[in-house]
């Protein structure tokens, strides 16, 4: 029988990134007492600090939005990736087990190798290609190894208005910066993902948690699209006409291997009757409208 959320206390790690701020917002709108932590406050790789922090607040839910997500740098710094994305999740899982809290952990489409050439469902077997992807899959395995009650949400290409002010931003902010520089923009067209709007990702993830759902769920943007077509969509919605050229992964080499087709199918979520993600154009329109609040 599912354990519905009744004790409305929640803790968010990685609370000030473009997903964390939306998780915090939705929790507060739903009447949760929330405690927010970032790496400077609580590094999830610190076993003792994690346990102390969770035990003192005794939340019913713990949301892990913290991650080391520098995909290419991970190839030269694999230890940092596995500590943050693997062992850090282990620390959270052990503490959640001791405190009987539901862990909601966010993972990635990069756990797949992209060879299926169709959107991946929750039933597909992961096959990570590089250090970052392996570290994220390790986090999933650690969470499931230590917990019977864990909600793992895989997502893809997250973008949210808070990305305006975060260090690494997101793809939309990168495109807008490049357009502002008035240079020719080259974007890969042979890699496909399902970019995901973080306010909607937060709402649907919390809905699953409140319902007491557990296991692996995909919450991708709902629109499989190449990064080149995504860039064109961004400029079209923004009313911009930069010089943009399609390129390929053969022409644009990176340190890390990336899945060529990593779009996600939200099969389990939609089977529960939760409203599907809107078309990507609508999400981009909403993003461009709401990012103005972060530029003030």
Q: Which of 132, 197, 228, 287 is catalytic?
A: 132
Beta carbons of 99 and 58 less than 8 angstroms apart: yes
Q: How far apart are CA 108 and CA 81, in angstroms?
A: 14
Identify the bridge partners of residue 103 per DSSP, sorted by sequence position.
62, 150
Judge residue 275's burial from the number of C-beta atoms within 10 Å of its C-beta, 0-12 exposed, 13-18 middle, 19 or more buried: exposed
Kindly tell me the sign of the dihedral angle through the C-alpha atoms of 12, 266, 264, 186.
negative
Q: How far apart are CA 38 and CA 43, in angstroms?
A: 7
Kindly tell me the sign of the dihedral angle through the C-alpha atoms of 65, 71, 75, 77.
negative
Q: How far apart are CA 218 and CA 266, in angstroms?
A: 5
Catalytic status, residue 132: yes
Q: How far is CA 64 from CA 36, 143, 180, in A?
A: 11, 11, 34
Q: Which residues are catalytic?
A: 132
């Amino acid at each position: 029988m599912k354990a519905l959320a009744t004790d409305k206390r929640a803790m968010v790690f990685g609370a000030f990134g473009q997903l964390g701020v939306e998780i915090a917002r939705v929790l507060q709108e739903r009447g949760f007492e929330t405690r927010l932590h970032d790496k400077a406050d609580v590094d999830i790789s610190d076993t003792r600090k994690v346990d102390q922090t969770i035990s003192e607040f005794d939340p019913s839910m713990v949301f892990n939005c913290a991650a080391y997500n520098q995909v290419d740098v991970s190839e030269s710094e694999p230890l940092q990736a596995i500590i943050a994305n693997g062992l850090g999740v282990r620390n959270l899982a052990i503490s959640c087990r001791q405190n009987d809290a539901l862990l909601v952990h966010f993972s990635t489409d990069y756990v797949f190798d992209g060879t299926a050439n169709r959107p991946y469902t929750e039933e597909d077997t992961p096959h990570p290609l590089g250090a970052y992807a392996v570290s994220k899959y390790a986090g999933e395995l650690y969470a499931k190894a230590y917990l019977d009650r864990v909600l793992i949400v895989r997502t893809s290409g997250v973008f949210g208005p808070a990305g305006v002010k975060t260090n690494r931003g997101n793809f939309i902010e990168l495109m807008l910066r490049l357009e502002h520089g008035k240079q020719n923009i080259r974007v890969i067209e042979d890699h496909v993902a399902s970019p995901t709007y973080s306010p909607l990702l937060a709402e649907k993830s919390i809905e699953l948690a409140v319902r007491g759902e557990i296991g692996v769920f995909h919450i991708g943007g709902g629109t499989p699209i190449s990064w080149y077509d995504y860039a064109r969509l961004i400029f079209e919605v923004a009313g911009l006409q930069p010089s943009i050229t399609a390129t390929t992964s053969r022409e644009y080499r990176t340190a890390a291997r990336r899945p060529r087709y990593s779009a996600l199918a939200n099969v389990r979520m939609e089977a529960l009757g939760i409203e599907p993600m809107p078309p990507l154009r609508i999400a981009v329109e909403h993003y461009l409208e709401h990012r103005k609040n972060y530029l003030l």
